C-alpha cells in the first residue's frame, strides 16, 4: 500500500477558468455572491478573475469590481490571472496580492490561445514577475497542454521540463501543469510527473486535470500515489476547454472533494456548501453542471 | 512503476443491466440491433438479457426472442441472468449457454432487490448451479453492494469474503464484485481486493464499478495496479442503480475503453463502433447518455 498525502490543497478555478467560457455575460453581483459562497465553503486558494483584455474576454471585464467587492479572508490566496504588464497594472490597482501567469507546452496552442509563441510568452512572464516583485505575495504559473495538445497531439516531457525549470528560476513557487483537453490517462500522467520530480518537488507542482473523457479522478489517484497533493478544480465542473465541444471540461471540485474526503484526506472545504455555490451558479446559467457528484445532490 | 495487465476482459452489461432501468418498453428488434452492433464492435462477453419474471421487469420479458435472434459468434460468452430454477428453464429452452446468478453482500439490499435474504439467495444459486451442471458452459456470479449499500452503508470485507468463497465452492468461475451505488473510492476498493486475493486470484474476479460520483475510472486504475483485468461496463453508461436518482450509473464502456486503449492495453473492442451502438440506443431513447467520452463523439 502506497503512502498517500493526508492534507490536500485545492485551487478553485471556477470563477475564472470556469466562467470564462460562458457565452452570456454574468452579472457582477452574481459572480461576487458565487465567490463569497465558495470562500464560505472553506476554499482558500482560488482564481477569482483575470485581467486580460476586456475585448478578448468580455466575461471577465469586471475583474476590478469583482476583486474589490469579494470578501478577502486573511488566510486565502486569491489569484488573478495576469497576461502582461498592462494586466499587472490593473490587478495591482485593484488591490490584487496574488497573481497567476500562463504559458503552454505546445507552440501551436500558445499561439492560438494567447497569440504568442512559447519563448515570447516566457519573456512576457519574465517582465511581469520582475515588475511584480515586492508588490505581490505569490505568483502561480500555468503550463497548459503539458500532456496533450489539441493541435500537436502528445507532448513529450522533454518539452515540459525546461518550462518548469524556467518558471522556477523566475521565482514562481507553484506551477500548475494542465492536462488541458482531458485526453491523458494515468500512465502518461505518471510518466511526466516522474520526470518532473527530477527537477523539482511535489511542493512546487499543482495538477490541473480535465474530465472530458472521465479520466480526471483516475489521474488524481495516479498523482496522489506519487505524493502530489495540490490539485486545481472547478466548482460544478464549470468551464473547460472550448476545443472539446459539448464535453465536460474541468474536473469538478465536488467530484474531487467527494473522493478525497471518502479516503480520509483533508481539504478544509465543506462539500455540501461548495455544492450549493455551484448550484447557485448553475441555476443562474440555466444549466445542469457536469459534476457527477452534484447530480446526486439536486438542482 | 507497477506492472499492469496488458489484456483486459470487458463484460458489456448494457443490454441487461443498462436497459433494465429504462421506463419505456424498448422494441425487441431495436435490442437485437443494439446487441448485434456491440458484437460487431468486438464485444465477446456480454450480459444479453435476463430471465426474471416478466411481471417484475417487463422491459426484459422478451428475453427468449432477443436471445434467439441475436448473432452468436462462437467465441462470445453471451450471459443471461437467471434468478431461479424457473428462469434457468426458460434460459435453457431459449438456447442460452452461459448464465449469471446474483446475490448481494447486504442483507437489506438483497431483500429489497430480490426479496430474499443473503442465505436464501445462496440456496437458490446452489439449486440453479446444480441443475445447470452439464447444460451450460459458464456461470458468472454477481455480488452486489460489495463495498457500499444504499441502506446499510459501508460493507465490511468480512461480509464479502465468505460469499466469494461460497460461490467459488459452487464451481462458479468468475465472480463480479459490484460497487453498486458508485460511492467507494480507490482506497476502499484496494482494501477489499487485497483481502479477496487471500481467498482467490485475479482470474476469478471481475469488477463492476458505477460512476455515480465520477470515481469509476479511478477505481479501475486502483484495481489494474493490483493486477485485476476483468471489468464490467455498460455501453454509453446506460442504466445504473435506481437508488441513485438523476445520477450516472454504470461505468460507461466508452470511458473505460478510452482510458485502457490510451494506456496501450488490449480489449479487442473497437471504441468508435461501440460508441455508434450506444448512440443508436441513445437516439431511440431520446437521451443523452452519460458517457463522458461519448459526449466528445456527437449525437
Which residues fall within 8 angstroms of residue B139, CB to CB, at 6 or more apart?
A: B98, B99, B100, B101, B129, B132, B171, B172, B173
pLDDT value, residue A214: 95
pLDDT above 70 coverage of chain A, percent:
96
Per residue in B224-280, pLDDT (tens digit) is 999 999 999 999 999 865 544 445 689 999 999 999 999 999 999 999 999 999 999
pLDDT value, residue A241: 53
Give me Rg for the CA atoms of chain A.
17
Q: Looking at beta carbons, which residues of chain A come within 8 Å of B207? A: none
Provide the shortest C-alpha distance from residue A260 to chain B (in Å). Answer: 8
The mean pLDDT of A206-217, rounded to a whole number, is 96
The mean pLDDT of A59-65, rounded to a whole number, is 94
pLDDT value, residue A3: 83
Identify residues of B whose CB sits under 8 angstroms from chain A CBs.
Answer: 1, 4, 183-188, 190, 194, 211-218, 220-222, 244-248, 252, 255, 258-260, 262-264, 291-293, 295-296, 298
Cross-chain residue pair B217–A214, CB shorter than 8 Å: yes
Cell representation of residue A213: 473523457
pLDDT value, residue A252: 97
Which residues fall within 8 angstroms of residue A93, CB to CB, at 6 or more apart?
A: A64
Cell representation of residue A257: 472533494
CA distance A294 to A241: 20
Lowest mean pLDDT among A82-91, A288-297, B24-33: A288-297
Would you say B146 and B105 are in contact if contact means Cβ atoms under 8 Å apart? yes
Which residues fall within 8 angstroms of residue B94, CB to CB, at 6 or more apart?
A: B51, B63, B64, B67, B68, B80
pLDDT value, residue A33: 98
Average pLDDT for chain A: 94
Which element (helix H / strand E) includes B28?
Answer: helix B28-40
A246 confidence band (pLDDT: 50, 70, 90): very low
Check if A241 is active-site: yes
Per residue in A96-111, pLDDT (tens digit) is 999 999 999 999 999 9
Residue A259 clears pLDDT 60, i.e. is over it: yes
Interface test with B, best of A193, A212, A218, A272 (most B CBs within 10 A): A218
Residue B169 φ then ψ, to 5° = -60, -30
pLDDT value, residue A221: 98
Q: How far is CA B64 from CA A251, B69, B281, in A?
A: 43, 9, 20
CA distance B55 to B57: 6
The mean pLDDT of B149-167, rounded to a whole number, is 97
Residue A244 clears pLDDT 60, i.e. is over it: no
pLDDT value, residue A2: 60
ipTM of the complex: 0.94
Provide the shortest C-alpha distance from residue A94 to chain B (in Å). Answer: 38
Q: Looking at the annotation, which residues of B are catalytic?
A: 241
**Other Cβ atoms closer than 10 A to B68:** 12
Residue A245 clears pLDDT 80, i.e. is over it: no
Pick the closest to residue B232 from B14, B20, B1 (CA basis). Answer: B14
Cross-chain residue pair A259–B1, CB shorter than 8 Å: no
pLDDT value, residue B2: 60
A86 confidence band (pLDDT: 50, 70, 90): very high
pLDDT above 70 coverage of chain B, percent:
96
Per residue in A16-40, pLDDT (tens digit) is 999 998 888 999 999 999 999 999 9
The whole model's pTM is what? 0.95
Pick the closest to residue A268 from A38, A88, A62 (CA basis). Answer: A38
Residue A117 clears pLDDT 50, i.e. is over it: yes
Cross-chain residue pair B215–A259, CB shorter than 8 Å: yes
Would you say A38 and A15 are in contact if contact means Cβ atoms under 8 Å apart? yes
Which element (helix H / strand E) includes B54?
Answer: none
Cross-chain residue pair A247–B216, CB shorter than 8 Å: no
pLDDT value, residue B248: 62
Instruction: Report helix, strand or coil for B51.
Output: coil
Nearest CA in chain A to B4: A187
Residue B174 clears pLDDT 60, i.e. is over it: yes
Decide yes or no: CATH 3.20.20.70 for domain B9-296: yes
The mean pLDDT of B65-91, rounded to a whole number, is 97
Question: Given CA atoms B259, B262, B267, B272 in this order, what sign does their dihedral have?
Answer: positive
Identify residues of A whose CB sits under 8 angstroms from chain B CBs.
Answer: 1, 4, 183-188, 190, 194, 211-218, 220-222, 244-248, 252, 255, 258-260, 262-264, 291-293, 295-296, 298
Cross-chain residue pair A258–B213, CB shorter than 8 Å: yes
Query: What CATH superfamily classification does A9-291 receive?
Result: Aldolase class I (3.20.20.70)
Per residue in A128-158, pLDDT (tens digit) is 999 999 999 999 999 999 999 999 999 999 9
Nearest CA in chain A to B298: A246
pLDDT value, residue B11: 98
Per residue in A191-207, pLDDT (tens digit) is 999 999 999 999 999 99
Amino acid at each position: 500500500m502506497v503512502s498517500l498525502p493526508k492534507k490536500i490543497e485545492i485551487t478553485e478555478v471556477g470563477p475564472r477558468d470556469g466562467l470564462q467560457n460562458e457565452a452570456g455575460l454574468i452579472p457582477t453581483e452574481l459572480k461576487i455572491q458565487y465567490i463569497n459562497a465558495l470562500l464560505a465553503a472553506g476554499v482558500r486558494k482560488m482564481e477569482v478573475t483575470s485581467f486580460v483584455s476586456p475585448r478578448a474576454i468580455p466575461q471577465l471585464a469586471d475583474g476590478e469590481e469583482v476583486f474589490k467587492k469579494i470578501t478577502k479572508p486573511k488566510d486565502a490566496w486569491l489569484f488573478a490571472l495576469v497576461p502582461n504588464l498592462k494586466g499587472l497594472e490593473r490587478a495591482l490597482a485593484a488591490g490584487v496580492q496574488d497573481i497567476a501567469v500562463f504559458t503552454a507546452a505546445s507552440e501551436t496552442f500558445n499561439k492560438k490561445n494567447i497569440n504568442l509563441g512559447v519563448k515570447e510568452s516566457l519573456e512576457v512572464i519574465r517582465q511581469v514577475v520582475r515588475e511584480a516583485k515586492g508588490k505581490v505575495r505569490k505568483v502561480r504559473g500555468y503550463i497548459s497542454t503539458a500532456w496533450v495538445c489539441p493541435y500537436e497531439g502528445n507532448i513529450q516531457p522533454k518539452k515540459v521540463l525546461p518550462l518548469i525549470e524556467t518558471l522556477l528560476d523566475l521565482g514562481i513557487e507553484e506551477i500548475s501543469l494542465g492536462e488541458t483537453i482531458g485526453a491523458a490517462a494515468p500512465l502518461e500522467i505518471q510518466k511526466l510527473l516522474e520526470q518532473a520530480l527530477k527537477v523539482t518537488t511535489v511542493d512546487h507542482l499543482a495538477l490541473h486535470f480535465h474530465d472530458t473523457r472521465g479520466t480526471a479522478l483516475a489521474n488524481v489517484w495516479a498523482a496522489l500515489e506519487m505524493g502530489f497533493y495540490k490539485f486545481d478544480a472547478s466548482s460544478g465542473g464549470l468551464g473547460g476547454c472550448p476545443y472539446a465541444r459539448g464535453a465536460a471540461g474541468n474536473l469538478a471540485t465536488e467530484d474531487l472533494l467527494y473522493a478525497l474526503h471518502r479516503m480520509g484526506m483533508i481539504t478544509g472545504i465543506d462539500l455540501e456548501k461548495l455544492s450549493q455555490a455551484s448550484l447557485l451558479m448553475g441555476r443562474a446559467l440555466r444549466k445542469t453542471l457536469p459534476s457527477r457528484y452534484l447530480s446526486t445532490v439536486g438542482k
